[in-house]
């Protein structure tokens, strides 16, 4: 896999793979859910991903401009493409701030597992997390720390910064994952956890399970956040875009399934019922690792440390891709150096991150409408901007841009003859199937079908 494609895989592999996918799979029919999820990835995720890669590589510039160039490729001037592109940049930018907060928590937990602060029972773990995440100082410190780390990588550019970091971090992540999977699956009663994740139960599959799988596949593949488009602007003209999209999706899905094999066997072996989200990784799992390896406490601590390192790596590579979206934008649009662009992003995201972090308990004044500022960012970007961006991208490539331009990018100007036959399938999917499916998830999330 080429460096920048690997970096794109790094963007896709993130917290969503570890804290959301396994639980969704376990709750919604195990292998049955996994099959549906993979179906969503192939039929909907891949075409949307390829569309963004096409726009990014064609434009070879930041997301807003790349959309504009694609829109103008047919000779028509319209503001619509730049609007979609700018929305992508805005989405990426807003996510950077709050994703940094959670990434910062991962760093705190790496530190906590090194100094042995995570030793205690379930109520201790809960108290520890609540006290930490609502405190005004430490979470803000870690948020700024991870953004600075990201800044240092992004400043060095694509080849020497992001690609190099990904080539080092991604294999490390994979090795840590495999080691923990093996340790977890060797525990007594691990089979129950494996059953929970993999045993197919088609009776649990309902309409909302389909929609859940669809939403998860979009989030997990980093679709409509500007990341794919921005990274694709650095792809070479020879890169097979569909082939790369398939590789990225495979890596992403494999990591998600392995994450399940890392979490559930350990949780079931000590009789703890797993959940999802922040409470799974920051409250449930510290006690699980401790109890599961009670006979060998040192091993328990090492596994916990490896787990939080893995989580930090997954978060960091995603954060880098988000940071790059806005850095490329400021660098090109404001005609300033890359370093300056990156600095603007880092400073602004530190401010957003600080407010998001403080809204989680340090002060009540940052909550409104029943949600904290942190939740608002999550809601607006993930549930509103993401579907709108994905929907409009499909419509733009499917209906507005001349077919010849899209097919030239898809087949690398006809040099990939095998892709010629697939082009009509791709076009059909982005013209009809994807927009319709995205519209349905969007309306469902807004509660229209309830």
Residues that bind ligand PHE (CB under 6 A): 11-12, 14-17, 95, 219-220, 222, 225, 227, 318, 321-322
Pick the closest to residue 91 from 67, 120, 58 (CA basis).
67
Q: Closest distance between ligand PHE and the C-beta of residue 228, in Å?
A: 9
| Minimum CB distance to ligand PHE, residue 18 (Å) | 8
Q: Are 211 and 219 in contact (CB under 8 A)?
A: no
Nearer to ligand PHE, 15 or 44 (CB): 15
State phi, psi for 447 to the nearest 5 degrees. 85, 20
Identify which of residues 266 and 319 has a Cβ nearer to ligand PHE in the complex. Answer: 319
Nearer to ligand PHE, 142 or 385 (CB): 385
Q: Residue with the closest Cβ to ligand PHE?
A: 14
Q: Which residue number, 14 or 81, has a Cβ lying nearer to ligand PHE? A: 14
The neighbouring-strand residues paired with 367 are: 372
Q: How far is the CB of 225 from ligand PHE (least distance, A)?
A: 4
371-372 and 367-368 as β-strands: parallel, antiparallel, unpaired?
antiparallel
Question: Residue 318 corresponds to which tokens in the numbers above?
Answer: 């995603």
| Under 8 Å between Cβ of 36 and 212 | no
**Which single residue is written with the structure tokens 């139960």?**
201
Helix ranges (H only) for 80-206 are 80-115, 122-133, 138-155, 164-185, 190-198
**Chain centre distance of CA 92:** 11
Q: Whose Cβ is closer to ligand PHE: residue 215's or residue 300's?
A: 215
Which residue's CB is nearer to ligand PHE, number 106 or number 434? 106
Give min distance, CB of 49 to ligand PHE, in A: 11
Least CB distance to ligand PHE at residue 193 (A): 22
User: Would the CA dihedral through 64, 69, 71, 72 be positive or negative?
Assistant: positive
Query: What phi and psi values does residue 368 have, to the nearest 5 degrees?
Result: -150, 155
Burial (0-12, 13-18, 19+ Cβ within 10 Å), 424: exposed
Q: How far is the CB of 442 from ligand PHE (least distance, A)?
A: 17
In the complex, least distance from residue 405 CB atom to ligand PHE, rounded to whole angstroms: 27
The smaller minimum CB distance to ligand PHE, of residues 181 and 386, is found at 386
């Amino acid at each position: 896999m080429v460096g920048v494609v690997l970096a794109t895989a790094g963007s896709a592999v993130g917290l969503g793979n570890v804290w959301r996918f396994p639980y969704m799979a376990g709750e919604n029919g195990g292998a049955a859910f996994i099959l549906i999820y993979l179906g969503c990835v192939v039929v909907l995720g891949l075409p949307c991903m390829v569309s963004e890669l096409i726009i990014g590589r064609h434009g070879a510039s930041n997301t807003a401009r790349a959309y504009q160039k694609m829109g103008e490729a047919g000779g028509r001037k319209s503001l619509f493409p730049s609007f979609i592109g700018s929305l992508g940049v805005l989405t990426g930018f807003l996510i950077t701030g709050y994703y940094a907060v959670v990434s910062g928590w991962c760093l705190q937990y790496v530190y906590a597992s090194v100094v042995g602060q995570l030793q205690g029972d379930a109520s201790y773990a809960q108290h520890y997390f609540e006290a930490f995440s609502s405190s005004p100082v430490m979470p803000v410190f870690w948020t700024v720390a991870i953004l600075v780390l990201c800044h240092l990588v992004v400043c060095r550019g694509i080849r020497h910064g992001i690609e190099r970091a990904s080539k080092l971090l991604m294999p490390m992540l994979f090795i840590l994952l495999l080691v923990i999977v093996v340790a977890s699956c060797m525990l007594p009663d691990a089979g129950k956890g494996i059953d929970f994740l993999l045993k197919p139960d088609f009776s649990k599959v309902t309409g909302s399970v389909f929609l859940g799988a669809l939403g998860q596949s979009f989030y997990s593949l980093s679709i409509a956040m500007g990341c794919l488009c921005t990274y694709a602007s650095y792809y070479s003209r020879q890169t097979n875009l569909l082939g790369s999209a398939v590789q990225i999706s495979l890596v992403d899905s494999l990591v998600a399934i392995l994450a399940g094999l890392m979490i559930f066997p350990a949780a079931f072996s000590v009789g703890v019922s797993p959940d999802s989200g922040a409470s799974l990784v920051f409250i449930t799992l510290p006690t699980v690792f401790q109890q599961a390896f009670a006979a060998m406490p040192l091993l328990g601590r090492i596994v916990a440390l490896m787990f939080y390192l893995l989580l930090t790596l997954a978060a960091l590579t995603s954060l880098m891709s988000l940071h790059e979206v806005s850095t490329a934008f400021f660098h090109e649009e404001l005609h300033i150096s890359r370093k300056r662009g990156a600095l603007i992003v880092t400073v602004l995201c530190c401010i957003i991150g600080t407010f998001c972090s403080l809204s989680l308990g340090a002060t009540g004044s940052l909550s409104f409408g029943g949600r904290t500022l942190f939740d608002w960012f999550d809601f607006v970007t993930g549930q509103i901007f993401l579907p709108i961006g994905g929907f409009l991208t499909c419509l733009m490539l499917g209906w507005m841009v001349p077919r010849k331009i899209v097919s030239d990018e898809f087949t690398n100007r006809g040099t990939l003859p095998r892709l010629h036959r697939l082009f009509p399938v791709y076009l059909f999917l982005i013209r009809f199937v994807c927009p319709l499916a995205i519209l349905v998830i969007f309306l469902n999330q807004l509660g229209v079908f309830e």
